[in-house]
Amino acid sequence: MQLAAGIHPLNEAGQPMPLEIVPIIVDPHKANEDLKRTENLLRWYKQIRQQLYGDSADVSKGFFSVKISTLSDIVPNGSSLSDTFLFNMGSIASKKFQDFISYSTLDSANQALASMMFSGYQLDTKMDIGFVGSPNIGSVALNQFKDSEEFRQFSNVFQKTDRIFIVSSIFGGTGAAGYPIIVKNIRNAGRNAAINNRGDLRDAKIGALTVLPYFNVQQDENSPISRADFISKTKSALFYYHDNLTGLREDGVDLPLSKVNACYYLGDEVPSNPYFNDPGGNGQRNDAHVVEYVGALSVLDFLSIPDDQLVTVDGNAQSPVYKEYGLSEDKGTLSLKTFALSTRSLVNRQLVKFHLAYMYITHQLKQDIGRGYTEDKPEIGSGFLSTSFFNTLTGSFFVAYRQWLKELRGNHRAFIPFNLDTEKLSEAISGIQPKTGLFKSAIDYKTLLSALNKASQQAMKTNKYGSDRVAFKLLDLLDETLDQMLDEKYNGIV
């Protein structure tokens, strides 16, 4: 959602940087409803972005301007990879864990050893629902990562200027186990002669977001998932990470050696509304939470750190960075103004512009077709409302966007950046009113239309939109005019 709003990482001069992101989702639980929602959002975003900007990644301004690609998009022609954001885990997803480790073929001594390391429930776990809060299962199963076609292709296209960012929860199974294994396999790539860019990969700039407990689940005696276990699992994982991943000390070395250049830690002790206790069989669909919104900021922050502060030698980060996040005010209900200045300066302006653009396209565009800027070349006619672009934008992405805001509003902590109960632009931003006065016009659809008309006339003088970039014209004009209106009506909104 932040990328859809046009938010970019900033360089040292404070200017937005062009960016291409290649998400790879590692999760054997393909039926996970949140995973499906995420994949759909990424696919819709990719379709919208393609029709706005084509294949260019050199765009640093505008809604949907960050390029999102699948791994198959960036590998050479002839790759057998599927055009998906999901890591192929077919070799484990259909098996019980005991079958994956060939438990039945072990001799009695090794079966006894395996039974000491894994409970009967864990041995009998069918891994198509993930690792059910058991990182000891995940650490074994996910070690196939290094032998996969996806990892081989990823390794071969990786370039020295690229960066890697890993997002994982720490109080479950898949994330807690997957994070250290993925880092280990990346840092150990230098030992694999089959990888073309093994030196660059070994010394890659790696950032990671470790998500600590932040939500609650209903108590269910028949479920292996319990809120009471979250803290103990978190402590165990953190101790392991310290000793093996982010804080290893060697004899005679003063500073800690880390395999990760920048570590971000995020959680919330305020319990959320209790989620349905679903180990995986019913799909796992949780409401959006403000911790996830904040967590996304860590990616932008990592990309803004200069190269000379993320030096890696022989797979060890030289000056690792460790960061946490704090609110400027500890409240149960958060708004755009609740966050500290650095966050507000980075995201508020674009988020507000995107929401106002969403409101205009949803509630007013149809009435404006046939007048003003819509008649300027290239024309935005009634046929535009039936295009695949418009249907994907409004019928898919905007529906998900509104649902995201509703879930954030209904959760605890509640995050309510916008008022979803109004169609008026002047009432859209929670807790923030536009400036008014004797010579100040209201912020409304009539004022916005006038600004769009003026901007469109200027664009026609340079043939900015050519003869066919109708979708780009609409979103670019909204981005430009709303930028000006925020300065006039809200002092820039920060």
- Show the 3-state SS of 360-378: HHHHCHHHHCCCHHHHCCC
Q: Which domain holds residue 293?
A: 20-325
**240 plus 354 within the same structural domain:** no
Which residues make beta-bridge pairs with 86?
Answer: 25
For position 266, which CATH number holds? Answer: 3.40.50
User: How far is 227 from 361, CA to CA, in rounded Å?
Assistant: 42
Beta carbons of 218 and 155 less than 8 angstroms apart: no
pLDDT at 152: 84
Does residue 348 share a domain with residue 308? no
Whose CA is closest to 409, among 400, 393, 420? 420
At residue 169, the pLDDT reads: 84
Which residues in 426-451 are b (16+ Cβ under 10 Å) and which e? eebbbebebeeeeeeeebebebbbeb
* Three-state DSSP class for residue 17: coil
> Considering all CA atoms of the chain, what is the largest pairwise distance in Å, rounded to the nearest integer?
88
Considering the domain architecture, whether residues 283 and 402 belong to the same structural domain is answered as no
Q: What is the pLDDT of residue 90?
A: 59
Are residues 56 and 104 both part of a single domain? yes
10-residue block means of pLDDT along the chain (494 residues)?
Answer: 96 93 84 88 98 94 97 83 80 69 85 84 66 60 74 88 93 74 85 76 94 71 60 77 68 65 90 60 78 96 96 90 90 92 94 98 97 96 97 98 97 94 94 71 89 96 93 98 92 77
Q: Does residue 332 fall inside a structural domain? A: no
The answer to whether residues 317 and 349 belong to one domain is: no
- Tell me whether residue 463 is exposed, middle or buried, using C-beta atoms within 10 angstroms of its C-beta: 0 to 12, 13 to 18, 19 or more: exposed
95: DSSP letter: S
Classify 324 in phi/psi space as left (phi over 0), alpha (psi -120 to 50) or beta. beta
Same domain, 235 and 292: yes
Number of domains in the chain: 2
Kindly state whether residues 445 and 476 are assigned to the same domain: yes
Show the tokens assigned to 91: 């070799």
Is residue 336 a contact partner of residue 344, using CB atoms and an 8 Å limit?
Answer: yes
Q: Is 130 left (phi over 0), alpha (psi -120 to 50) or beta?
A: left
Which of 290, 325, 360 corresponds to the end of one domain?
A: 325
Is residue 12 situated within a structural domain?
A: no
Phi/psi class of residue 102: alpha, beta or left (left: φ > 0; alpha: ψ in -120 to 50)? left
Residues 285 and 347 in one domain: no
What pLDDT is recorded for position 39? 95
User: What is the helix (H) or strand (E) element at residue 67, kind and residue range?
Assistant: strand 67-68
Which tokens is 118 given? 């894994």
d(CA 377, CA 39): 35
CA-based R_g, the chain, Å? 25
Q: Answer for the pair 174, 137: CB distance below 8 angstroms, yes or no.
A: no
Dihedral sign of CA atoms 364, 370, 375, 380 in order: positive
Q: What does DSSP assign to residue 313?
A: E
Complete DSSP assignment for 433-460: ----BTTB---SHHHHHHHHHHHHHHHH
Q: Do both 260 and 351 map to the same domain?
A: no
Residue of 265, 73, 249, 263 lying closest to 183 (CA atoms) = 263
CB-based contacts of 28: which residues, under 8 Å, 6+ apart? 89, 92, 93, 127, 128, 129, 130, 131, 141, 174
Tell whether 355 is covered by a domain.
Answer: yes
Q: SS3 sequence, 188-250? A: HHHHCCCCCCHHHHHCCEEEEEEECCCCCECCCCCCCCCHHHHHHHHHHHHHHHHHHHHCECC
Q: 30-66: buried (b, 16+ CB within 10 Å) or exposed (e) per residue? A: eebeebebbbebbbbbbbbbebbbeeeeebeebbbbb
| 38-46, Cβ contacts within 8 angstroms, sequence gap of 24 or more | 38/85, 39/84, 39/85, 39/86, 40/396, 40/400, 41/397, 41/400, 42/68, 42/85, 43/85, 44/392, 44/396, 44/397, 44/400, 45/3, 45/4, 45/397, 46/70
Nearest to 141 by CA among 123, 155, 154: 123
11 part of a folded domain: no
Residue 294 and residue 415 in one domain:
no
- Among residues 291, 325, 359, which one ends one of the domains? 325
Residue matched to tokens 């006065």: 437
